[in-house]
Amino acid sequence: MPTFTFNHLALFVKDVAESVNFYQRVFQLSEIPNSASTSNTCWLSLGEGKQLHLIPRPQ
């Protein structure tokens, strides 16, 4: 039977800074370097090599 695996989840958010604050405060996630771009996107570690990417929602 095949297994499902992922390395990151990406969410569009209204306010990146506010969302980072929430995930760090509630889930104690730590910020990791965004190695893909210089955008306002923030990456947080979910542990075990998995990441949460918070992307500014387009207007």
Tell me the per-residue pLDDT of 4-39, one tens digit each, with 9 for 90 and over. Answer: 899 999 999 999 999 999 999 999 999 999 988 778
Q: Is residue 59 very low, low, confident or very high in pLDDT (cuts 50, 70, 90)?
A: confident
* DSSP secondary structure, the chain, as one string: ------SEEEEEES-HHHHHHHHHHHH-PEEE---S-SSS-EEEEEETTEEEEEEEPP-
Distance CA 14, CA 22 (A): 13
Backbone angles phi, psi at 54, to 5 degrees: -105, 115
Domains present along the chain, CATH in parentheses: 8-56 (3.10.180.10)
**Quick check: 54 pLDDT over 80?**
yes
